[in-house]
Structures are given as C-alpha cells and as structure tokens.
Amino acid sequence: MRTSPSTGTAAACTAAVLALLASGTTALAAPSDPPPAQGNEGRGYRATEVIAHRGASGYRPEHTVGAYELAIQQCADYIEPDLVMTADGVLVDRHENEISGTTDVAERPEFADRYTTKVVDGVSYSGWFTEDFTLAELKTLRAVERLPGLRPDNTAYDGRWDVPTFEEVLELAAASRTCDGDPVGVIPEIKHGTYFDSIGLSMEEPVVEALAAHGYDSPRDPAVIQSFEVANLQELDGLTDVRLAQLVNCSGAPYDQVEAGTGLTYADMVTREGLRDVGEYADQVGLCKDVMIPREADGTLGEPTSVIKDAHRAHLTVVGWTFRAENEFLPAEFRSSDDPAELGDMVGEVQVFLAAGMDQLFTDHPDLGVEAVQTRPRGRG
C-alpha cells in the first residue's frame, strides 16, 4: 500500500506579489512585456500547495509556456501539463486531443483535410486531433484562448506560443524555482489513456521514462502523475515510485471501468471503502469541488461531506479542483455581480474548502490561490 507523505511546506510570495494581492488587483504586463521574475524576499509560511491548473490559465492561454512562466512568477508550487500524443508518439501538452478550441488549426487551410469525427471515451467529437499530426506539423500551430468570452484579455496573447511538448515543460520546471527557492513541481495528467491505448499510443511508459530522465523517480520528488482512470494508475504503481493521484469527477465513471464493465462509478470511489481501495495504489485523490462541499439549489455552498475525512483516514492527500475567479464558476455568495466574466471572491471560496480540510488546490489563478492560503484564519484548514 502506498503511504501519502504529509503535505509539503512552501513559503509565501514575494513582497511585490503580496502588495498586489493586498490591493485587490492583479497587475498584468502588456502583451509585449512579459511579467518580471520574482525573488524570494519577504517570505512567510505557507503549508498548503497551490497547483497552477494548466498554468496561470486565468491570465494566459492555457497549456502554454507563457501560462506556466506566469504561474511560477505568481508563486505556484506545481504546474500541470495535460498529456496527449502526436502521430509519431511524442507527448504534448493539451487538455484534449481535439484542438480546434485551443489552437488556430481551423484557420490553417493546409490541414483542412484532417477535420474528422471520432469517438473518444464514448463521446463523439468533430474537429482536429493531435494523433493525426506529427510533432513537426503540430509545432506550426499557435495556441489561442479557450474561453474568449469569459477571458477576453487573454486573447491579446493568441498566437504568441506554440503547443509545448512534455519535455519542454519538464525543462522549464527544471530551470525554475518556486518563490521559496524549491524546485517547481510538475503534476502531469494522462488524458484518455484507454483511447490512446486503443490506437497504439500508450502514454504511461513514456511518461514514466520522461520523468525519470529528469530525476523524478521517488515519492520525495516534486512530481505527481494523475488520471481519471483507474487501471493505468494501478499499472503505474508498479512502474514508478513517483506519487500518483486518482482524479474523481462530480458524476459518471472512469472510462476504463466503463469499458471493462466493472460498474465502478466515481460515487463508489468516494465512499469510505472506495477511498481505502484508492489508497492501495494512489497517494492523492483529486476531488471535484462539489464532492467535498455540494452546492445548494440556490447556488450557494452547502455543508461539507465526510469525503475529506474519509480520504485522510485512507492516508490520501486531498486535492480540490478547480478554483476559478470568474463569477461564472463561483458559488453564489462569492460572486461580485451578475456579469459571468467579472472576478468575484475566489479567495473566500478557497478558504471555506481549506477550513473543511482540503490539503492542496488546483486553480486557474495562482496568485489568488496563494492569497487564499496566506490569509486564511490561523488554526483552520
């Protein structure tokens, strides 16, 4: 059985970042001026780790080098690359293998004939898919903002960056330090493992090999491999000593379990017995927020469930996803207005979850995640 190490400690952001947080504003550089690097001065104690969800994706197009660089400057402890594969077997960083919403592929006439429809994890999608492009072809595309209606400021960065490989993300992490001087952690997610296995592009082995090549091969290293599926994590438990995280959605079932006909659902996995089973192969459980604290009919937060305590009893670190600052994503009591794109009180929302016992968090807005951790009431969370 895997035993989850205690939540690591990380120091606070720099005095400059703290000043911005205290002002209640987020200062962003103009598109032509990348944000300045931060130093380590003015540090304080911060125990809960903040994970930059697809980078600082609230401020830059997701899964780009620019999003990861900004996340590191905003004092994230970990950066998250979602992994899919190219036709020639290279791990690349996209939330989905269908890339029409995150690249300019639809505007490229040379790839018009690649448009197709595929069934991925039982769902039909039409568009362009990474596995139909070589890495060289994919590298000619440019990344764009996935949510332009909610994040119009991010569109100023459309076209600036390409699609990074997993190797490039690992190299960035290796060359960077957190605001307290520690190595920047990486928490890759293997996307659609069953689907990629079915087309002869297994990802588990190359993920382990890439991590090992960069020195990530023990539970003490700042790396975690995550998946919404079960069988690939159980396989990984025998391939690496790097920590593993079982992701749990708000509803439904892991697709590999659907394919295998086991009947196992995410609801089954968050029972006390289910979490004990997860603890046999994983170190962490990444929970959809509503599993920890469901929302009431009026959109406000309800009472915490027993899931966090039950996960801790199973020696699992509890990671919550995903905290976003726009009103569109916030519980009703933390919204600032009826404008879905306006930023509300994500800091307040995160602090409710920390008080309920959540150990770590994924956020599109790492600066606000850091603020939430630093300013939470003493003795809570």
Q: Where are the beta strands (DSSP E) in the chain?
A: 10-11, 45-46, 50-52, 78-79, 82-85, 91-93, 116-120, 123-127, 185-186, 189-190, 224-227, 243-248, 284-288, 317-323, 360-363
**Residue 63 near residue 164 (C-beta atoms within 8 A):** yes
| Domain spans, the chain | 10-95+144-375
- What integer pLDDT is reported at residue 38 of this predicted model? 33
Pick 10-95+144-375's CATH classification: 3.20.20.190, 3.40.718.10, 3.40.50.300, 3.30.1360.200. 3.20.20.190
In the predicted model, is pLDDT for residue 33 greater than 60? no
| Percent of the chain predicted with pLDDT > 70 | 87
* pLDDT interval class at 2 (50, 70, 90): low
Whole-prediction pTM value? 0.87
Q: b or e along 290-318 (b: 16 or more beta carbons within 10 Å of the residue's beta carbon)?
A: ebbbeeeeeeebeebbebbebbbebebbb
CA 232 to chain centroid, in Å, comes to: 18
Half-sphere exposure of 49 (CA within 13 A, CB side): 26
Q: Are strands 91-93 and 82-85 parallel, antiparallel or unpaired?
A: antiparallel
Quickly count: other Cβ atoms within 10 Å of residue 15's Cβ. Answer: 15
Instruction: Lowest mean pLDDT of 11-15, 182-186, 202-206, name the range.
Output: 11-15
Q: What is the CA radius of gyration of the chain?
A: 20
- For residues 155-186, b (16+ Cβ closer than 10 Å) or e, as one string? eebbebbbbbbbebbbebbeebebbbeebbbb
Asked if 264 and 249 count as a contact pair (C-beta separation under 8 A), the reply is no
Q: Return the pLDDT at 14.
A: 35
Higher per-residue pLDDT: 55 or 38: 55
Q: What is the mean pLDDT of the chain?
A: 90
State CA 147 to chain mean position distance: 16
Residue 113 has pLDDT above 90, yes or no: yes
Confidence band of 379 (pLDDT split at 50, 70, 90): low
What is the rounded end-to-end Cα distance, in angstroms, of the chain?
Answer: 26
Model confidence over 47-59: pLDDT tens digits? 689 999 999 999 9
Helices (H) and strands (E) in the chain, counts: 14, 15
Those residues whose C-beta lies under 8 Å from the C-beta of residue 110, and which sit 6 or more positions away, are none
Residue ranges in the chain assigned as alpha helix (H): 15-23, 65-73, 135-138, 166-174, 193-198, 204-213, 231-237, 255-260, 266-269, 272-278, 289-292, 307-313, 346-355, 366-375
Please tell me the predicted confidence (pLDDT) of residue 377. Answer: 86
Length of the chain equals 381
